[in-house]
Amino acid sequence: MPAFVPPNRLLLGPGPSAVPARVLQATAQPTIGHLDPAFIGMMDELNDLVRYAMQTENHCTLTISGPGSAGMEACIGNLVEAGDTVVVCRNGVFGERMRQLVIRAGATAIAVDQTWGEPIDPVALDQALREHPEASLVAFVHAETSTGVLNDAEQLARIADEHGCLSVMDCVASVGGVPVRIDEWGIDAAYTGSQKCLACPPGLAPATFGPRAIERIQARKTPTASWMFDISELTRYWSGGARRNYHHTAPVNALYGLHEALVLLREEGLDASWKRHGSVSSLACSGLADLGLQLTVNEAHRAPQLLVVQVPHGVDDAQFRRQLLDVEGIEIGGGLGPGAGKVWRIGLMGHGAREANVERLLGAMSRQFDALGLQGIERAS
């Protein structure tokens, strides 16, 4: 059987995003042992790079071996115990996934709901915390990739703190693309993912735990149900220095790639990366509007790295995306949950957030609308 050769694609969906050649080359280097002193040195550097990307000084900063969802499992699984009450902000698929994990941890989940496409209302969170003084944790998503909404993380974390609750944030789609300031915002625990704005292949989840989160984990009445994602065990593996113990075998080559992706981010600088995502996104927004496409999220709450547009009337969602993929070599995302079949999700994340990519996408969409004989209709609407 011949070797698998992936087709040439421009990835402009909700992830994975385009991976720069330097990162791919880093992953192709020879595998060494995960307890080799050279590898341990790389892990220490990687922790520093993650601290930079997430803007934190947290000692407990490491990378979970698994995709963004593994980061979610690690954070919820360690911070939640049976019998706890957790308030979960829910305005999309990933907020709902957090709620499911809270329930699986044996806790009571109180949902603060918001219409999809709108940000969480801080007043509603405050109200829920007044009604549930027994709550010990607030969970929320920063950039909701299912809807393209950017929630006000700083304000949600502040309200949690005012009610004596710790906060856990999903910043899978936001780190590198928009400002994320773990320490300044007082976030107690957070996880991200390698394959969104960090421009790395999927499969890794950098995460960080502040002093209050560590205290809570140490005070658990029962050990974390997951052995693989037990932060007490993982801390000994990731920051044990020369005394590092075998826990599991870290994905050695994948971590070379993340190291290089974060070196690239540091070379560019976080500020420059955030600005690039913002300006490329503005260009895309006006171009999409020129094509007659309607953005679903108000500019004030829009995540620049993930634009959501309505599928125009008379266009078959799946067929159009297939055409874009087959004819133009471009991947965009379909809708999730209630958005399925109704919206497209266009990711301008990490290395993919470039003006040339926006121009290529706009040209390709325009051609495919033409092919469907739809351009006139769209321009008129």
Ligand X SMILES: *Cc1c(COP(=O)(O)O)cnc(C)c1O
User: Could you say which of 20, 179, 202, 338 contacts ligand X (CB under 6 A)?
Assistant: 202
**Token pair of 17 as six digits:** 């995003």
Asked if 67 interacts with ligand X (CB under 6 A), we say yes
- Select the residue interacting with ligand X from 69, 85, 239, 375 (CB under 6 A): 69
Minimum CB distance to ligand X, residue 277 (Å) = 14
Hey, what amino acid is at 362? L
State yes or no: residue 193 binds ligand X (CB under 6 A).
yes
Quick one: which of 74, 87, 94, 336 contacts ligand X (CB under 6 A)?
94
Q: Can residue 323 be called a binding residue for ligand X (CB under 6 A)?
A: no
CA dihedral defined by 52, 57, 58, 59, rounded to 10 degrees? 100
Cβ closer to ligand X: 62 or 362?
62
* Number of neighbouring beta carbons within 10 Å of residue 8: 6
| Beta strand ranges found along 157-203 (DSSP E) | 166-170, 189-191
Contacts to ligand X from residues 220-239, by CB under 6 A: none
Which one of the spans 63-71, 121-129, 264-272, 328-336 is the region binding ligand X (CB under 6 A)? 63-71
Give which of 83, 104, 100, 78 is closest to 224, Cα–Cα. 78
Establish if 169 lies at the interface with ligand X (CB under 6 A): no
- Please report how close the Cβ of residue 25 comes to ligand X at its closest, in angstroms: 23
With 0-12 CB in 10 A as exposed, 13-18 as middle and 19+ as buried, what is 108? middle
- CB proximity list for 122: less than 8 A, separation 6 or greater: 152, 155, 156, 159
Q: Which stretch binds ligand X (CB under 6 A): 42-50, 168-176, 180-188, 276-284?
A: 168-176
Q: Using the rule CB under 6 A, is 173 a contact of ligand X?
A: yes
Which residue is nearest to ligand X, using beta carbons?
A: 68
Positive or negative torsion for Cα 118, 121, 125, 131: negative
Choice between 168 and 214, CB closer to ligand X:
168
Q: How far apart are CA 304 and CA 236, in angstroms?
A: 37
Indicate whether 350 belongs to the interface with ligand X (CB under 6 A): no
Shortest separation between residue 69's beta carbon and ligand X, angstroms: 3
What number of chain residues touch ligand X (CB under 6 A)? 14
- In this structure, what token pair is assigned to residue 26? 């880093």
Q: Output DSSP code: residue 338.
A: G
Q: Using the minimum distance from each CB to ligand X, give the nearer residue, 145 or 208.
A: 145
- For ligand X, the closer CB: 287 or 338: 338
Amino acid at 226: S
Q: Name every residue whose Cβ is closer than 8 Å to that of residue 139 and which is 6 or more positions away in sequence.
A: 76, 86, 87, 88, 89, 95, 98, 99, 102, 167, 168, 169, 170
Cα(358)–Cα(155) distance, integer angstroms: 32
Instruction: Output the smallest distance, CB 42 to ligand X, in A.
Output: 22
Q: How far apart are CA 100 and CA 79, in angstroms?
A: 14
Residue whose CB is less far from ligand X, 170 or 188: 170
Nearest alpha carbon to residue 157 among 78, 270, 56, 70: 56
Select 13 or 312, whichever has its Cβ closest to ligand X.
13
The smaller minimum CB distance to ligand X, of residues 307 and 362, is found at 307
128-167 residues near ligand X, rule: CB under 6 A: 141, 143, 145
Q: Rank residues 96 and 233 by Cβ distance to ligand X and give the closer one.
A: 96
> Is residue 15 part of the contact set for ligand X (CB under 6 A)?
yes
**Binding stretches for ligand X (CB under 6 A):** 15, 67-69, 94, 141, 143, 145, 170, 172-173, 193, 196, 202
